[in-house]
Amino acid sequence: MSRLSLLIAAALWFGLATAQSFPSRPMRIVVPSPPGSSPDIRARQIGQKLTEALGQPVIVENRPGANGMIAARETAKSAPDGHTMFLALINNAIGDALKPDPCCRLNQELMPVSRFTMTPLVMVVNPSVPASSLKELVSHARAAPGKLTYGSAGTGSIAQLVGEWVKAEAKIQMLEVPYKGVNAEIPDLMAGQVQAAYVVPQVVLAQIRAGKLRPLAVTSQSRIASLPDVPTMGEAGLPGIEALVWNGIFVPAGTPRPVIQVLHREIVKAYNAPDVKSQVESSGSSVVGDTPEEFAAFVTSESAKWSKVVREAGIRAD
């Protein structure tokens, strides 16, 4: 047997042996947003199912900040053995397009396991804003240029890109107020310190139904079941604006393929567990559960799509 064949055989044996003993200690999912945020909720759903399936505790660690880069960096420097996972967000793919950091790029230093959910955004405003529709908001913004504000998770976040896209299409001026994490703007939005935001429905459904926030439009091609009376951006007067938020699990590059296969099998089961899937769908999202290869191709296409928006909006990395 040649030296190369011996090396390949040894690698395969090591990978299989590692998978058979995996997991050997508590696991963790690193989340780039604060407790109580939509990604945090999703990670805890996954973690509970993985704990039950794999017999090891799965701890959710929140590492918000730097548009997901703090959490990505934390994961990428971890041992590539499957015990540390990263719940990556669309913001991470956008960050790779805007200002790639060789420490922790998706599909390179971080390798995909499976995509979890796809979710449209809903544009919401504080009830103090004198607008009950997107057209009325546009009219109000034109009458008072730069007076209205919207919250985002910072430069390159999906909220910023959609906010700037809306400004360009509607030909209005709104001031962006950046925050350190996904959904971190919601307390200030509720208090009226910022007037608008682009967020996933599930984190504001209760406030919408209580009349504490007013929805103006969703960023999907069709209306969503959880907000059937809220028009799409196209119906509301800005056709062509479509943005779907996604998240999914990544692991450090170098994680043995058999370990990734174990994680993929159990993670997809967790995604599709009846209680998880029904909760996801009732909140306006859909479960994906694709293969590592399909997820990798999707991430590449998303980076290309949002690179175009970044260029046309003139967004620059901080």
CATH assignment at residue 106: 3.40.190.150
Quote the percentage of the chain above a pLDDT of 70. Answer: 94
| CATH number of the CATH domain containing 171 | 3.40.190.10
CA distance 59 to 120: 28
For residues 13 and 58, state if they share a domain.
Answer: yes
Exposure letters 89-111 (e unless 16+ CB within 10 A, then b): bbbbbbbbbbeeeeebbbbebbb
For residues 133 and 230, state if they share a domain.
Answer: yes
Q: Is residue 197 part of a domain?
A: yes
Looking at residue 53, its pLDDT comes to 97
Split into its structural domains, the chain has a count of 2
For residues 16 and 100, state if they share a domain.
Answer: yes
The residue from 236, 260, 285 where one domain ends is: 236
Q: Which domain holds residue 210?
A: 122-236
Contact 245, 161 (CB under 8 A): no
Looking at residue 17, its pLDDT comes to 52
Q: Which residues of the chain have pLDDT under 50?
A: 4-11, 13-15
Looking at residue 95, its pLDDT comes to 86
Q: Is residue 318 part of a domain?
A: no
Q: Is residue 241 part of a domain?
A: no
Which residue(s) pair with 27 in the sheet? Answer: 58
Cα→Cα distances 182→28, 185, 245, 273, 277, Å: 20, 8, 11, 26, 22
Looking at residue 11, its pLDDT comes to 46
